[in-house]
A and B are shown apart, each in its own frame.
Chain A
Amino acid sequence: MSEIKLTKSAPTEDNGEEKDWAAAKAFFDNLKTNKPRPPKPRYAVTIAVSSRTLFNMVKERKIYQDEGLEKYVAYQMEHENEPLMPGAAFPFVQALMNVNSRLRELYPDSEELFDIVLMTNNHAQVGVRLINSINHYDLSIERFCMTGGESPIGYLKAYMTNLYLSKDSDKVTEAIAEGIAAATMFTADTENELSKTQLRVAFDGDAVLFSDESEIIVKQHGLDTFFEHEKEFENKPLAQGPLKCFLEALGKLQRKFIAKNERLNCPIRTFLVTARSAASSGARVLKTLRSWGLEIDEALFLAGAPKGPLLEKIKPHIFFDDQMFHIEGAQELGTISAHVPYGIGQKYHKGKLIEQPPKKE
């Protein structure tokens, strides 16, 4: 394993970047490593994960909170050779890598792949244990940002990150405010067996793929006004939500498979799981997706039924929703969920307005 890592910051000038890139390529080619080279950020679909989502670091976190930084670092260094257990984002990352191998089979020279970056607040000394764990599971995560306490948002933008997953809701909120698709990950209570060959991503509709404009109407004026409004504006596309671009990126990769006649065997499958009612408010959703040129593989309109049982059947590697109520329901039945802290849904819990402002940690 080479001790030199590629430069983390992306140079602004194209010429400089090309020269750097050519030099790195030459170096890499000389190494004769059989690990494939990571793609350029601007072509790749970049997913940034934090170390706590990739690995289960609950015990270590407790030591950090109870005993302080020094003890935490010492503990990590002692257990450096002990690989960490998989975390919430682990199956998702494995599925991404599987899609990458399929893409490389079909398009050996393309850079349109998934690229996973580890974006962590951790101290550099902990990096060794992370690297050992990553190698233990044979993940191909070559890009790291160990920010030692600083906010990772600037780096996210530099990497043209398409999706950022973290356990820290403050960072996630900051990322969304900067226009980066982001979500806070939660582990499931039980473990569902997930597909090893197909990446499955489930999205909520309002305030995740779409803006929260309709959600505002429901919360403030009730369901019936909402139905009327949706019918009236059926042909006006909804504004986009924080995760629309990620769906777009997935769609781009899906089309590469479809172009090679692999539609039925596509290793990416997307699901829309919305509490909307089909006849009353579903048309606007489908028309909006169409106007964006996006396809979704399966659309489930629940008309208020609980999402948990259906997600249990879908078995997604990740499920994005803006309301904690649905996240909790999904968790109970073993679905890995990620909360998107966007929109008016944050001020409500189970349909009731939260009286006091949420406490900051």
Chain B
Amino acid sequence: MSLKNGPTLTARGPDLASISNRTPLEDARMQLNPSTPTRKPKPPKPENAITIGVSARVLFNMEKEQQIYQQQGLEDYIKYQVEHETQPFNPGPAFSFVKALEAVNTRLRELYPDSEELFDVVLMTNNHAYVGLRLINTINHHQLFIERFCMTGGNSPIGYLKAYHTNLYLSADPAKVREALEEGIAAATMFTQEKMTQVSDTQLRVAFDGDAVLFSDESERIYKAHGLDKFFEHEKAHENKPLDHGPLKGFLEALGKLQKKFYGKGQRMDCPIRTYLVTARSAASSGTRALKTLRSWGLEIDEALFLAGAPKGPMLEKIRPHIFFDDQMFHVEGAAEIGTVACHVPYGIAQGVTKKGINDKETSAAPK
């Protein structure tokens, strides 16, 4: 077979002219054939990378197909997908998040060409292998860089999440998300939103709720059981005792690790990752404990917003995060109404059903 010079291929992915992961021979070849398409970088090893597992339904908008599956069954669903194979899907809620991750990767590769500490996005889907083609076509159409797939054909993907050292799992299925949380993997349920506001192309912005997301739900329990005043007293009394960690602490840690790589090269002002704490706590009455806890963990957060009960929606509209994690559906829905991509972390006492009989598994233990 002859190797033609870059035929009908369009340039794939970001321009990677500055990477030098190639052998001298390949470098030489590149100079001889300047018209060949830009090279795709190699995906990093799972143990070094920050692995984000996304499901097909959060990456792309598959509402119509999901309806066909629910109403007409598996065979019709597969047939529909195969027929529309060359038609790319529209972006879903996690799409802009994944694009932002890739932007960060590009910046990281510029500064540290040989490092494997990058974001790695894995597509973890229940879908049948035949649907894979449409997914691959869509990924290439939108120029995403997702090379790792797990098409589990109906099985639970939780085992594979662990094998990939997944740092964050996003799915549309709350049952899977709960399972992942129980196994100690940071996870959140994403919902399709009608409105998705424009977000930054160059800076990844991640917003976290405090209690039961970054921190454990111990304080939330006191508030729900004994009321606000008791809560304030308790927090003041235990100001210097760090809170227990919550399901998403590990992910914040991972973001912090990458942020430090930028600071190390003098790019603090221009850092393409920015983290926000958006909490209903009151600063003077209960904020100290939260900040001291973060400090004790050695974690930094770029912006901290103490709302003292005010609605989170308007704040989030100004922040424009690519993703916002909260444990209470009330806040998630409020954020979604104004177009922020919000996802639900089904952890802790705010879920209601987790403590009573329905779920036999133990959920109160802080994961990891």
Contact = CB atoms under 8 A, between A and B. Distances in A.
A310 B160 contact: yes
Max chain A Cβ within 10 angstroms of own Cβ: one of B123, B133, B135, B162 = B133
A352 B155 CA distance: 36
A264 B154 CA distance: 8
Contacts of A279: 136, 139-140, 144-147
A160 interface: no
B88 interface: no
Contacts of B36: 224, 228
B44 to A, nearest CB: 9
Given A298-B152, A303-B43, A224 B133 contact: no
A217 B4 CA distance: 13
A296 B129 contact: yes
A245 interface: no
A301 interface: yes
Given A289-B129, A298-B155, A224 B40 contact: yes
Interface in A213-246: 213, 217, 221-225, 227-229, 231-232
A68 interface: no
Q: In which size bucket is the chain B interface?
A: 35 or more
B144 to A, nearest CB: 7
Contacts of B264: none
A286 B147 contact: no
Contacts of B153: 297-299
A223 B8 CA distance: 18
Determine the main DSSP class of A at the interface with B: helix
B163 interface: yes
A312 B163 contact: yes
B46 interface: yes
B45 A286 contact: no
Interface in B142-158: 144-155
B159 A229 contact: no
A303 B147 contact: yes
B163 A280 contact: no
Given A224-B39, A295-B129, A282 B149 contact: yes
Contact of A287 (B37, B46, B133): B133
A22 interface: no
Contact of A305 (B4, B46, B74): B46
Contact of A282 (B40, B136, B145): B136
A347 B291 CA distance: 58
A221 to B, nearest CB: 7
A283 B135 CA distance: 9
A114 B300 CA distance: 61
Nearest to A227: B40
B80 interface: no
A278 B132 CA distance: 9
A300 B150 contact: yes
A109 to B, nearest CB: 28
Given A278-B146, A278-B147, A228 B26 contact: no
* Nearest 5 A/B pairs, CB to CB: A313-B159, A303-B147, A277-B147, A309-B163, A301-B149
15 contacts: A222-B26, A232-B7, A278-B146, A279-B139, A279-B145, A286-B130, A295-B130, A296-B129, A299-B132, A299-B153, A300-B160, A301-B147, A309-B164, A310-B160, A312-B163
Interface of A: 213, 217, 221-225, 227-229, 231-232, 263-264, 272, 277-280, 282-283, 286-287, 289-290, 295-306, 309-310, 312-314
